[in-house]
Protein backbone atom coordinates (compact mmCIF):
# COMPACT_ATOMS: atom_id res chain seq x y z
CA UNK A 1 0.00 0.00 0.00
CA UNK A 2 2.85 2.41 0.81
CA UNK A 3 4.32 1.84 -2.64
CA UNK A 4 1.01 2.75 -4.26
CA UNK A 5 0.75 5.89 -2.09
CA UNK A 6 4.22 7.01 -3.14
CA UNK A 7 3.34 6.44 -6.79
CA UNK A 8 0.08 8.30 -6.37
CA UNK A 9 1.78 11.28 -4.73
CA UNK A 10 4.05 12.09 -7.65
CA UNK A 11 1.38 11.32 -10.19
CA UNK A 12 -0.76 14.08 -8.64
CA UNK A 13 1.78 16.49 -10.13
CA UNK A 14 0.47 15.65 -13.58
CA UNK A 15 -2.41 18.04 -14.14
CA UNK A 16 -2.48 18.91 -17.79
CA UNK A 17 -4.85 16.54 -19.58
CA UNK A 18 -4.48 16.19 -23.33
CA UNK A 19 -6.44 14.25 -25.88
CA UNK A 20 -6.56 13.75 -29.62
CA UNK A 21 -8.27 11.52 -32.11
CA UNK A 22 -7.46 7.81 -31.77
CA UNK A 23 -5.38 8.50 -28.63
CA UNK A 24 -5.97 7.77 -24.96
CA UNK A 25 -6.47 10.71 -22.66
CA UNK A 26 -3.34 11.30 -20.65
CA UNK A 27 -1.99 13.57 -17.95
CA UNK A 28 0.99 15.68 -18.96
CA UNK A 29 3.54 16.39 -16.19
CA UNK A 30 3.88 20.12 -15.54
CA UNK A 31 7.59 20.02 -14.76
CA UNK A 32 8.73 18.03 -17.79
CA UNK A 33 9.96 21.02 -19.80
CA UNK A 34 13.01 21.35 -17.56
CA UNK A 35 13.28 17.79 -16.36
CA UNK A 36 16.17 16.55 -18.54
CA UNK A 37 19.40 16.55 -16.53
CA UNK A 38 22.90 15.25 -17.14
CA UNK A 39 24.50 15.83 -13.75
CA UNK A 40 25.28 12.12 -13.25
CA UNK A 41 27.06 11.46 -16.55
CA UNK A 42 30.00 9.07 -16.34
CA UNK A 43 32.99 8.71 -18.62
CA UNK A 44 32.10 5.17 -19.70
CA UNK A 45 28.36 5.50 -20.38
CA UNK A 46 27.08 4.54 -23.85
CA UNK A 47 26.80 7.40 -26.32
CA UNK A 48 24.98 5.60 -29.13
CA UNK A 49 21.72 3.73 -29.68
CA UNK A 50 20.64 1.67 -26.65
CA UNK A 51 18.19 -0.98 -27.85
CA UNK A 52 17.40 -3.14 -24.80
CA UNK A 53 17.90 -3.20 -21.05
CA UNK A 54 17.59 -5.85 -18.32
CA UNK A 55 18.41 -5.98 -14.60
CA UNK A 56 20.10 -9.10 -13.28
CA UNK A 57 19.57 -10.88 -9.98
CA UNK A 58 22.35 -8.84 -8.34
CA UNK A 59 20.79 -5.54 -9.36
CA UNK A 60 23.20 -4.70 -12.20
CA UNK A 61 21.64 -3.08 -15.26
CA UNK A 62 22.76 -4.43 -18.63
CA UNK A 63 22.34 -2.57 -21.93
CA UNK A 64 22.56 -3.81 -25.52
CA UNK A 65 23.94 -0.87 -27.51
CA UNK A 66 25.54 0.00 -30.84
CA UNK A 67 28.87 0.31 -28.96
CA UNK A 68 28.67 -3.05 -27.19
CA UNK A 69 27.04 -4.46 -24.08
CA UNK A 70 27.31 -2.23 -21.01
CA UNK A 71 26.83 -3.09 -17.33
CA UNK A 72 25.91 -0.48 -14.71
CA UNK A 73 26.57 -1.48 -11.09
CA UNK A 74 25.01 1.61 -9.52
CA UNK A 75 28.24 3.57 -9.63
CA UNK A 76 29.88 3.17 -13.02
CA UNK A 77 29.40 1.78 -16.53
CA UNK A 78 31.56 -0.99 -18.01
CA UNK A 79 31.65 -2.03 -21.66
CA UNK A 80 31.70 -5.80 -21.13
CA UNK A 81 32.14 -6.75 -24.80
CA UNK A 82 34.71 -4.11 -25.72
CA UNK A 83 37.49 -6.66 -26.18
CA UNK A 84 35.22 -9.41 -27.49
CA UNK A 85 33.30 -7.98 -30.44
CA UNK A 86 32.91 -4.75 -32.39
CA UNK A 87 29.37 -5.68 -33.47
CA UNK A 88 26.27 -3.68 -32.69
CA UNK A 89 24.19 -5.36 -30.01
CA UNK A 90 20.41 -5.49 -30.23
CA UNK A 91 18.96 -7.94 -27.68
CA UNK A 92 19.81 -9.19 -24.20
CA UNK A 93 18.63 -11.81 -21.69
CA UNK A 94 19.56 -13.14 -18.25
CA UNK A 95 18.55 -16.79 -18.18
CA UNK A 96 17.18 -18.71 -15.19
CA UNK A 97 20.70 -19.84 -14.23
CA UNK A 98 22.06 -16.29 -14.11
CA UNK A 99 23.94 -16.49 -17.41
CA UNK A 100 23.75 -13.64 -19.90
CA UNK A 101 22.90 -13.80 -23.62
CA UNK A 102 23.79 -10.94 -25.97
CA UNK A 103 22.29 -10.79 -29.46
CA UNK A 104 24.28 -8.92 -32.11
CA UNK A 105 23.70 -7.71 -35.63
CA UNK A 106 25.98 -9.75 -37.86
CA UNK A 107 27.97 -11.72 -35.27
CA UNK A 108 25.34 -14.07 -33.86
CA UNK A 109 24.71 -14.47 -30.12
CA UNK A 110 27.19 -14.40 -27.26
CA UNK A 111 26.75 -16.50 -24.12
CA UNK A 112 28.46 -15.10 -21.00
CA UNK A 113 28.68 -17.06 -17.74
CA UNK A 114 30.34 -14.20 -15.87
CA UNK A 115 33.84 -15.41 -16.72
CA UNK A 116 34.06 -16.38 -20.38
CA UNK A 117 32.21 -15.81 -23.64
CA UNK A 118 30.94 -18.39 -26.13
CA UNK A 119 29.85 -17.23 -29.58
CA UNK A 120 27.15 -19.00 -31.62
CA UNK A 121 26.76 -18.17 -35.32
CA UNK A 122 25.55 -19.91 -38.47
CA UNK A 123 28.64 -22.13 -38.16
CA UNK A 124 27.17 -23.58 -34.96
CA UNK A 125 23.70 -23.97 -36.46
CA UNK A 126 21.91 -20.61 -36.40
CA UNK A 127 19.83 -19.68 -39.47
CA UNK A 128 21.21 -16.13 -39.44
CA UNK A 129 23.69 -13.97 -37.52
CA UNK A 130 21.32 -11.08 -36.73
CA UNK A 131 19.77 -11.79 -33.31
CA UNK A 132 16.94 -9.32 -32.77
CA UNK A 133 15.17 -11.00 -29.83
CA UNK A 134 16.00 -13.56 -27.11
CA UNK A 135 13.59 -15.46 -24.86
CA UNK A 136 13.78 -18.33 -22.36
CA UNK A 137 10.76 -20.65 -22.18
CA UNK A 138 9.41 -22.50 -19.13
CA UNK A 139 11.55 -25.55 -19.90
CA UNK A 140 14.76 -23.52 -20.02
CA UNK A 141 15.16 -23.53 -23.81
CA UNK A 142 16.57 -20.35 -25.36
CA UNK A 143 14.65 -18.96 -28.34
CA UNK A 144 16.54 -16.66 -30.68
CA UNK A 145 14.63 -14.42 -33.06
CA UNK A 146 16.72 -13.75 -36.14
CA UNK A 147 16.41 -12.24 -39.56
CA UNK A 148 14.26 -14.73 -41.47
CA UNK A 149 13.65 -17.26 -38.75
CA UNK A 150 13.71 -18.57 -35.20
CA UNK A 151 16.18 -20.87 -33.47
CA UNK A 152 15.40 -22.94 -30.38
CA UNK A 153 18.48 -23.94 -28.37
CA UNK A 154 18.16 -26.73 -25.77
CA UNK A 155 21.72 -26.42 -24.52
CA UNK A 156 23.12 -28.83 -27.12
CA UNK A 157 21.54 -28.31 -30.53
CA UNK A 158 19.58 -25.73 -32.52
CA UNK A 159 16.11 -26.40 -33.90
CA UNK A 160 15.43 -23.87 -36.65
CA UNK A 161 12.23 -22.46 -38.11
CA UNK A 162 12.25 -20.39 -41.29
CA UNK A 163 9.74 -17.74 -42.42
CA UNK A 164 8.21 -18.91 -45.68
CA UNK A 165 5.67 -16.58 -47.29
CA UNK A 166 2.72 -16.50 -44.84
CA UNK A 167 3.89 -19.17 -42.43
CA UNK A 168 6.86 -20.44 -40.43
CA UNK A 169 8.14 -23.97 -41.01
CA UNK A 170 10.76 -26.14 -39.36
CA UNK A 171 13.95 -26.48 -41.37
CA UNK A 172 16.15 -29.58 -41.04
CA UNK A 173 18.38 -28.87 -44.04
CA UNK A 174 20.65 -26.31 -42.39
CA UNK A 175 19.34 -23.48 -44.52
CA UNK A 176 20.70 -20.02 -43.71
CA UNK A 177 19.37 -16.54 -44.44
CA UNK A 178 21.77 -13.83 -45.73
CA UNK A 179 22.79 -11.22 -43.16
CA UNK A 180 21.77 -7.55 -43.33
CA UNK A 181 18.47 -8.11 -45.15
CA UNK A 182 16.26 -7.76 -42.06
CA UNK A 183 12.82 -6.28 -42.91
CA UNK A 184 10.24 -7.67 -43.39
CA UNK A 185 11.38 -11.01 -41.93
CA UNK A 186 12.95 -9.74 -38.73
CA UNK A 187 11.62 -11.56 -35.64
CA UNK A 188 10.91 -8.83 -33.10
CA UNK A 189 9.49 -10.65 -30.08
CA UNK A 190 8.85 -14.18 -28.74
CA UNK A 191 6.92 -15.17 -25.60
CA UNK A 192 5.32 -18.30 -24.17
CA UNK A 193 1.92 -17.69 -22.55
CA UNK A 194 0.43 -19.48 -19.54
CA UNK A 195 -1.25 -22.07 -21.77
CA UNK A 196 2.04 -23.09 -23.37
CA UNK A 197 1.43 -21.39 -26.72
CA UNK A 198 4.16 -19.24 -28.24
CA UNK A 199 3.51 -15.80 -29.74
CA UNK A 200 5.96 -14.65 -32.42
CA UNK A 201 6.00 -11.09 -33.76
CA UNK A 202 7.79 -10.22 -37.00
CA UNK A 203 8.00 -7.18 -39.23
CA UNK A 204 5.47 -9.08 -41.33
CA UNK A 205 2.81 -11.23 -39.67
CA UNK A 206 2.35 -12.21 -36.03
CA UNK A 207 2.06 -15.95 -35.31
CA UNK A 208 0.80 -18.39 -32.69
CA UNK A 209 2.74 -21.64 -32.26
CA UNK A 210 1.07 -24.54 -30.45
CA UNK A 211 4.08 -26.82 -30.60
CA UNK A 212 3.00 -28.32 -33.91
CA UNK A 213 2.26 -25.54 -36.36
CA UNK A 214 2.32 -21.75 -36.73
CA UNK A 215 -0.88 -19.82 -37.49
CA UNK A 216 -1.33 -16.12 -38.21
CA UNK A 217 -2.94 -14.14 -35.38
CA UNK A 218 -5.94 -12.16 -36.55
CA UNK A 219 -8.54 -9.81 -35.15
CA UNK A 220 -11.88 -9.86 -36.99
CA UNK A 221 -10.14 -11.39 -39.99
CA UNK A 222 -7.32 -8.84 -40.12
CA UNK A 223 -3.79 -10.05 -39.45
CA UNK A 224 -1.57 -8.22 -36.98
CA UNK A 225 1.49 -7.00 -38.89
CA UNK A 226 4.69 -5.22 -37.91
CA UNK A 227 4.20 -5.92 -34.20
CA UNK A 228 7.37 -4.87 -32.40
CA UNK A 229 6.76 -6.27 -28.92
CA UNK A 230 4.54 -8.80 -27.12
CA UNK A 231 4.27 -9.39 -23.37
CA UNK A 232 2.00 -11.33 -21.02
CA UNK A 233 1.16 -9.39 -17.85
CA UNK A 234 0.73 -10.77 -14.34
CA UNK A 235 -3.00 -11.29 -14.92
CA UNK A 236 -2.52 -13.23 -18.14
CA UNK A 237 -3.45 -10.45 -20.56
CA UNK A 238 -1.45 -10.48 -23.79
CA UNK A 239 -0.31 -7.07 -25.04
CA UNK A 240 0.81 -6.35 -28.59
CA UNK A 241 2.50 -3.12 -29.60
CA UNK A 242 3.54 -2.01 -33.06
CA UNK A 243 2.58 -0.09 -36.17
CA UNK A 244 -1.16 -0.35 -35.46
CA UNK A 245 -0.88 0.76 -31.84
CA UNK A 246 -1.40 -1.00 -28.52
CA UNK A 247 -3.75 -4.00 -28.29
CA UNK A 248 -4.89 -6.25 -25.43
CA UNK A 249 -6.06 -9.86 -25.57
CA UNK A 250 -7.78 -10.95 -22.35
CA UNK A 251 -7.22 -14.54 -21.14
CA UNK A 252 -11.00 -14.95 -20.74
CA UNK A 253 -11.50 -14.69 -24.50
CA UNK A 254 -10.82 -17.55 -26.88
CA UNK A 255 -7.96 -17.75 -29.34
CA UNK A 256 -8.52 -20.53 -31.83
CA UNK A 257 -6.14 -21.08 -34.72
CA UNK A 258 -4.90 -17.53 -34.24
CA UNK A 259 -8.32 -15.84 -34.37
CA UNK A 260 -9.27 -13.99 -31.19
CA UNK A 261 -10.87 -10.96 -29.56
CA UNK A 262 -8.60 -7.96 -29.07
CA UNK A 263 -9.19 -4.49 -27.63
CA UNK A 264 -7.42 -1.51 -29.16
CA UNK A 265 -6.01 0.81 -26.47
CA UNK A 266 -4.08 3.34 -28.55
CA UNK A 267 -3.39 3.98 -32.23
CA UNK A 268 0.03 5.46 -31.56
CA UNK A 269 2.97 3.45 -32.89
CA UNK A 270 4.33 1.39 -29.96
CA UNK A 271 7.94 0.25 -29.88
CA UNK A 272 8.23 -1.46 -26.49
CA UNK A 273 6.00 -2.58 -23.61
CA UNK A 274 7.22 -3.30 -20.08
CA UNK A 275 5.34 -4.26 -16.90
CA UNK A 276 6.54 -2.86 -13.56
CA UNK A 277 6.35 -4.58 -10.16
CA UNK A 278 2.93 -3.03 -9.47
CA UNK A 279 1.44 -4.46 -12.66
CA UNK A 280 1.36 -1.12 -14.48
CA UNK A 281 2.48 -0.97 -18.11
CA UNK A 282 5.05 1.37 -19.62
CA UNK A 283 5.29 1.87 -23.36
CA UNK A 284 7.54 3.80 -25.69
CA UNK A 285 5.39 5.30 -28.41
CA UNK A 286 5.29 7.92 -31.13
CA UNK A 287 2.57 10.59 -30.96
CA UNK A 288 0.74 11.86 -34.02
CA UNK A 289 2.93 14.97 -33.83
CA UNK A 290 6.00 12.79 -34.35
CA UNK A 291 7.52 13.05 -30.87
CA UNK A 292 8.29 10.01 -28.70
CA UNK A 293 6.97 9.62 -25.16
CA UNK A 294 6.92 7.17 -22.30
CA UNK A 295 3.34 6.26 -21.43
CA UNK A 296 2.25 4.73 -18.13
CA UNK A 297 -0.97 2.66 -18.09
CA UNK A 298 -2.46 1.92 -14.68
CA UNK A 299 -3.18 -1.74 -13.90
CA UNK A 300 -6.43 -1.01 -12.05
CA UNK A 301 -7.97 0.37 -15.23
CA UNK A 302 -6.90 -2.31 -17.75
CA UNK A 303 -10.42 -3.67 -18.13
CA UNK A 304 -11.63 -0.25 -19.31
CA UNK A 305 -11.69 0.35 -23.03
CA UNK A 306 -9.67 3.50 -22.38
CA UNK A 307 -7.45 2.76 -19.37
CA UNK A 308 -6.05 5.69 -17.42
CA UNK A 309 -2.67 6.68 -18.79
CA UNK A 310 0.00 9.29 -18.16
CA UNK A 311 2.47 10.55 -20.77
CA UNK A 312 5.99 11.44 -19.68
CA UNK A 313 7.35 13.80 -22.28
CA UNK A 314 11.02 13.10 -23.02
CA UNK A 315 11.31 16.63 -24.40
CA UNK A 316 13.37 15.88 -27.50
CA UNK A 317 11.90 14.26 -30.62
CA UNK A 318 14.01 11.11 -30.55
CA UNK A 319 13.10 7.47 -30.87
CA UNK A 320 12.73 5.48 -27.64
CA UNK A 321 13.70 1.83 -27.46
CA UNK A 322 13.86 -0.68 -24.60
CA UNK A 323 12.31 0.04 -21.19
CA UNK A 324 13.26 -1.33 -17.77
CA UNK A 325 11.48 -0.85 -14.45
CA UNK A 326 14.37 -1.22 -12.01
CA UNK A 327 14.05 -2.72 -8.53
CA UNK A 328 14.37 0.72 -6.93
CA UNK A 329 11.28 1.94 -8.81
CA UNK A 330 13.12 4.03 -11.40
CA UNK A 331 12.38 3.65 -15.11
CA UNK A 332 15.29 3.25 -17.51
CA UNK A 333 14.92 3.61 -21.26
CA UNK A 334 17.15 3.55 -24.30
CA UNK A 335 17.44 6.10 -27.06
CA UNK A 336 20.60 7.79 -28.37
CA UNK A 337 22.10 6.85 -25.02
CA UNK A 338 20.58 5.63 -21.77
CA UNK A 339 18.17 7.58 -19.55
CA UNK A 340 16.65 7.16 -16.09
CA UNK A 341 13.31 8.55 -14.90
CA UNK A 342 12.76 8.76 -11.12
CA UNK A 343 9.18 10.02 -11.16
CA UNK A 344 10.17 13.69 -11.37
CA UNK A 345 13.22 14.15 -13.57
CA UNK A 346 14.96 12.36 -16.43
CA UNK A 347 18.71 11.80 -16.06
CA UNK A 348 20.75 11.79 -19.25
CA UNK A 349 23.91 9.68 -18.82
CA UNK A 350 25.48 10.61 -22.13
CA UNK A 351 28.95 12.16 -22.16
CA UNK A 352 28.81 15.82 -23.12
Q: Residue 7 above 70 pLDDT?
A: no
pTM: 0.86
**Confidence at 10, pLDDT banded by 50, 70, 90:** very low
**Confidence at 124, pLDDT banded by 50, 70, 90:** very high
Q: Which of the two residues, 201 and 15, has the higher pLDDT score?
A: 201
**Confidence at 17, pLDDT banded by 50, 70, 90:** very low
Complete edge-to-edge strand list for the sheet that includes strand 88-94: 88-94, 100-105, 109-112, 117-120
pLDDT (mean) for 43-61: 94
Rounded to 5°, angle at Cα 252 from 296 and 248: 30
Query: What is the signed CA dihedral for 165, 157, 90, 177, rounded to 10 degrees?
Result: -40
Give me the number of domains the chain comprises. Answer: 1
Of 342, 340, 337, 348, the C-alpha closest to 67 is 337
Q: Residue 62 above 80 pLDDT?
A: yes
**Confidence at 51, pLDDT banded by 50, 70, 90:** very high
Strand partners, 107: none
Instruction: Round the average pLDDT of the chain to a whole number and report it.
Output: 86
What's the CATH code of the domain at 231? Answer: 2.130.10.10
**Confidence at 42, pLDDT banded by 50, 70, 90:** low
Spatial distance between the Cα atoms of 339 and 350, rounded to a whole number of angstroms: 8
Spatial distance between the Cα atoms of 5 and 329, rounded to a whole number of angstroms: 13
Domain that holds residue 277: 2-348
- 127 contacts 153 by C-beta, under 8 angstroms: no
Burial of 190 (0-12, 13-18, 19+ CB in 10 A): buried
**Residue 184 pLDDT:** 77
pLDDT (mean) for 22-40: 39
**Residue 25 pLDDT:** 37
- 28 contacts 42 by C-beta, under 8 angstroms: no
Amino acid sequence: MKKHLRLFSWLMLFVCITSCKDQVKTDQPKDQSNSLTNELNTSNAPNSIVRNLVQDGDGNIWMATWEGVFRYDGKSFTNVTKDVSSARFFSILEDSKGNMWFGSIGSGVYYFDGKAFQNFTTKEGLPNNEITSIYEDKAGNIWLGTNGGISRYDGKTFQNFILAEDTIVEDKTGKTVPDFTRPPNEVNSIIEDKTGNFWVATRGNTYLYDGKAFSIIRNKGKAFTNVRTIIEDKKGNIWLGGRDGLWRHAPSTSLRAGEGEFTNISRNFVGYIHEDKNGNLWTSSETIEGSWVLTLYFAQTFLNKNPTATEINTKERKMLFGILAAKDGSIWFGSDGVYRYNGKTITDFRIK
